[in-house]
Amino acid sequence: MLTRRELMLTSGSAALSQAAAQTQPAHPNVLLILADDLGWGDVGYQGSEIKTPHIDHLATESVQFTQCHVYPLCSPTRSGLMTGRSPMRFGLIYSVVRPWATYGIPLDEHLMPQTFRAAGYQTAACGKWHLGHGNRRLMPNARGFDHFYGHMNGAIDYFTHLRDGGIDWQRNGVSVREEGYSTDLVAGEAIRWIKGRDRNRPFFCYLPFNAPHVPLMAPPDSLEKYSSIANVKRRTYAAMVDRLDANIGKVLAALDAEGLRDNTLVVFLSDNGGPLGGGANNGTLRAGKATVYQGGLRVPALMRWPGHLQAGSKSDQVMTNLDFLPTLAAAAGIKPGGEHPLDGKDLWPQITGGKTIVREDLFFATEEGDRELAVRRGSWKLVRRTNTKNLAVTTELFDVDADPSERSNLAEKQANLVRDLNGALDQWAALHPKCDILTGLTPHPGFVTPKDWAMAPE
């Protein structure tokens, strides 16, 4: 029989446990960090001269993905990430949502924040949207986010927050005019939101930075750190990545200060490969942003969850941006919502230590000049380029496991495989809805830039 003192201690421990259970959500928090145009070779743990100590430290605590693939441009990757479905199905695969575009992700598509909010999560997005701004029903607050802070367009002035002379900086649909470098402001908002959260509910925080996307702009103190780099574009790009890293470090430190490290699944990746003409470096991978070669598709990616994922390990599992919605939902113990079937696959068993699996055919496309399509089947990758002026077609076949730099075209030696893969590409491309594929790389002469990008019609 327990003494009165032992009963009191037991009761006190039970009360403390109950209190801890009330303040520690049963499901993990999820922090999804997305860099913009970060090259394969532009982080320290990949050998870059750019100093990224916080990302590097995160890598030592994470599973490092060596075969994470995305689409070659911003909007296609972000739309696939948010929906778990191929943007070919809803017309967002070939290009980005231009400032003069009136469309975005269709309203019948179910987004990642909606899945988490339906499971009781509080949701926030801080940063770059780029998934539709022509109507308020396309904006973040109407697509599952309780809180949004940042900008609608793909690129803004980092200091004035203007796009083509109009303010593109808002909080929950209301434009905000404030001073500061956008990378700093986005991180600061995420930290404030995390600190002010409802502590009795888990959270999903999407942190899509616009750095180091053009325009190439960095604060003077960050530029000074890279004064030894002669190339002006590379110097500015390096300073932008450095600032991005510092702010990621601040957000991760805020998680620690809030006691959230052990119950927060942190994901980090880039939305596409680095632009070679914009100061980026994709290492030995071929080409870069806006191409379907590996330099445009393969990106740095990390996932950390202490006690659940092996720190410092590497995963060679082939994965794409489409896989994150079903995978993160599985990790959180919830089910993806929506009526449409997902194209992405739940890879949580592979990430937590299971054997890698051979993927189904994976498809990629872009049209920033020539139309480029690619399909990966096992280690084989077919690239088909169509000159949009004379319709000349170029076909290349690579064994990307043996030849990740895509130097050896094996198409002539594998004619039957080329025929099969071309057929698969045709079937996939036929999924595109019967609408305009592009809105044009330049605005219609009748387009008028709004003075306030947040003031879209409903």
Question: Splitting the chain (458 residues) into consecutive groups of 10 residues, what average pLDDT does each group show?
Answer: 38 38 70 98 97 98 98 98 98 96 96 98 98 97 98 98 97 97 98 98 98 98 98 98 98 98 98 98 98 98 97 97 98 96 98 94 95 98 96 97 98 98 98 86 86 92
**So what's the pLDDT on residue 445?**
83
Note whether 111 and 51 are same-domain residues. Answer: yes
Contacts of 284 (CB under 8 A, 6+ apart): 404, 405
User: In this structure, what CATH number is given to the domain that contains residue 248?
Assistant: 3.40.720.10
CA 32 to chain centre: 8
User: In this structure, what CATH number is given to the domain that contains residue 397?
Assistant: 3.30.1120.10
Beta-strand pair 63-65/301-304: antiparallel
**So what's the pLDDT on residue 315?**
97
Note whether 86 and 176 are same-domain residues. Answer: yes
CA proximity to 304, closest of 87, 80, 127, 59: 59
Note whether 185 and 271 are same-domain residues. Answer: yes
**So what's the pLDDT on residue 218?**
98
**So what's the pLDDT on residue 342?**
98
CA proximity to 244, closest of 32, 35, 31, 30: 35
38, part of any domain:
yes
Outline where DSSP puts E strands in 187-299: 203-208, 264-270
Q: By residue range, what is the domain housing residue 283?
A: 27-351
Note whether 139 and 282 are same-domain residues. Answer: yes
216 close to 134: Cβ distance less than 8 angstroms: no
387, part of any domain:
yes
Contacts of 228 (CB under 8 A, 6+ apart): none
Note whether 253 and 380 are same-domain residues. Answer: no
326, part of any domain:
yes
Note whether 90 and 113 are same-domain residues. Answer: yes
**So what's the pLDDT on residue 458?**
85
Q: Output the CA angle 117-122-124, nearest 5 degrees.
A: 100
Note whether 286 and 383 are same-domain residues. Answer: no
277, part of any domain:
yes
DSSP state of 298: B
Neighbours of 444 (CB within 10 A): 9
269, part of any domain:
yes
Note whether 113 and 158 are same-domain residues. Answer: yes
Beta-strand pair 370-377/362-368: antiparallel
**So what's the pLDDT on residue 21?**
38
Note whether 320 and 374 are same-domain residues. Answer: no
**So what's the pLDDT on residue 16?**
32
HSE at residue 457, side-chain half, CA atoms within 13 A, is 2
- Number of domains making up the chain: 2
21, part of any domain:
no
10, part of any domain:
no
Angstrom distance (rounded) from CA 46 to CA 65: 12
Neighbours of 340 (CB within 10 A): 14
Q: Which of 351, 370, 394 is the last residue of a domain?
A: 351
